[in-house]
Amino acid sequence: MTIHDGSSAIVTGGAGGLGEATVRRLHAEGLGVVIADLSEEKGKLLADELADRAVYVGTDVTDDGTLAGAIAAAQQLGTLRYGVITHGGFGGPPERIVGRGGNPADITMFRKTIEIYLTGTYNTLRLVGSAIASADAGADGERGALVMTSSIAGYEGQVGQGAYAAAKAGVIGLTLAAARDLSGAGIRVNTIAPGTMRTPMMETVGEEALAKFASAVPFPHRLGSPSEYADAAMFLLSNRYVNGETLRLDGAQRFQPK
C-alpha cells in the first residue's frame, strides 16, 4: 500500500483530536498537509511544530472561499490528491424530538447540525474532489482519495441525538453514491464511523464518565484513540481497492437507546 510521492492533503478539523492525529500521520508519511480548521491558535501551533510542508489555513467548511484558500495552500505543498474530513465540535445538549412536556425540539439546532456535519462534508467533498480531479492519473487511473467521518450514531442514534444521528447517517448514505460519482475522475471515497473515541473534547467529561463509556465497549474495554482513527484513515487513503465503504471503528460497540 503506497501513496503518491510529492503529494499533499487537506484535513478539515485538522487542529482537533481526530484531525490532529491524522495530520501527524499523513505528515509522517511524507505528505504536505493543510490543517484546515477554525481554531487558529491550535492550528498554528501544530503547523509550527511540524514545520516543513505543514501549514494552517483558517477554514469554514460551509464557506466556499475559505475552502478555496485551503485548496490553494495544499497545491503549493504538492499535488493535491488526498482529503480527510474530520471537522466537528458542534453540538447542543441532547434534545428529544418531542420533549417530556410535549414541546417540539428546536428546529434551528437541527438545521445547524445538518449544515455543519452533512452539508459541510458534502461541500468539502465536492470542492476538494474537483481539485483532485485535475491531478495526473497514476498507472491504475487513480488520482487520489477522500475519507469522510460519520459516527456509529449514524446507525444507532440514541435518545436526544436525532439531529446528530440524521447528519451522520447522511454521511453514510453519501459514501457509496460519492464513490460512484467520483469514479469517473479516478477518486476513491470511503468513510470512517468511529465509536467512543478518547479525544481532548471527550476527556472533559471526567474519568468516572470515561470509565462508564469504556465499560460499554465489548473489546478492547477502552475508548478508541485518535491515533487509531489516523491509522484507519491512512489505510483507506492508501489501499487502492477499497472504495465506497464505511468502516466502523468501535471495538464492536453498539449504542443502546441511552
Per-residue pLDDT, averaged over 220-229, amounts to: 92
Per-residue pLDDT, averaged over 164-176, amounts to: 97
Catalytic residue annotation: 164
Say which residue, 217 or 118, is predicted with more confidence.
118
Residue ranges making up the domain that contains 205: 7-93+107-249
Residue pLDDT, tens place only, 80-136: 999 999 998 666 678 999 998 899 999 999 999 999 999 999 999 999 999 999 999
Does pLDDT of 197 surpass 90?
Answer: no
Task: Tell me whether residue 1 is in a domain.
Answer: no
Task: Tell me whether residue 101 is in a domain.
Answer: no
Task: Tell me whether residue 136 is in a domain.
Answer: yes
Residue 1: the pLDDT is 40
Per-residue pLDDT, averaged over 199-207, amounts to: 74
Per-residue pLDDT, averaged over 51-78, amounts to: 97
Q: Are 70 and 57 in contact (CB under 8 A)?
A: yes
Residue 131: the pLDDT is 98
How are strands ordered across the β-sheet holding 187-194? 54-58, 32-37, 7-12, 79-85, 144-149, 187-194, 246-249
Arithmetic mean of pLDDT over the chain: 93
Say which residue, 99 or 182, is predicted with more confidence.
182
pTM equals 0.94
Say which residue, 67 or 195, is predicted with more confidence.
67
Say which residue, 44 or 205, is predicted with more confidence.
44
DSSP bridge partners of 104: 98
Q: Are 11 and 22 in contact (CB under 8 A)?
A: yes
Please give the DSSP secondary-structure letter assigned to residue 197.
Answer: B
Return the CATH number at 120.
Answer: 3.40.50.720
Task: Tell me whether residue 149 is in a domain.
Answer: yes
CA 2/CA 163 separation, integer angstroms: 38
Task: Tell me whether residue 254 is in a domain.
Answer: no
Please report, rounded to a whole number, the percentage of residues in the chain having pLDDT higher than 70.
Answer: 96
Per-residue pLDDT, averaged over 10-38, amounts to: 97
Task: Tell me whether residue 159 is in a domain.
Answer: yes
Task: Tell me whether residue 16 is in a domain.
Answer: yes
CA 255/CA 111 separation, integer angstroms: 24
Domain total in the chain: 1
Task: Tell me whether residue 139 is in a domain.
Answer: yes
Output the nine-digit C-alpha cell for 231.
491509522
H/E element holding 188? strand 187-194
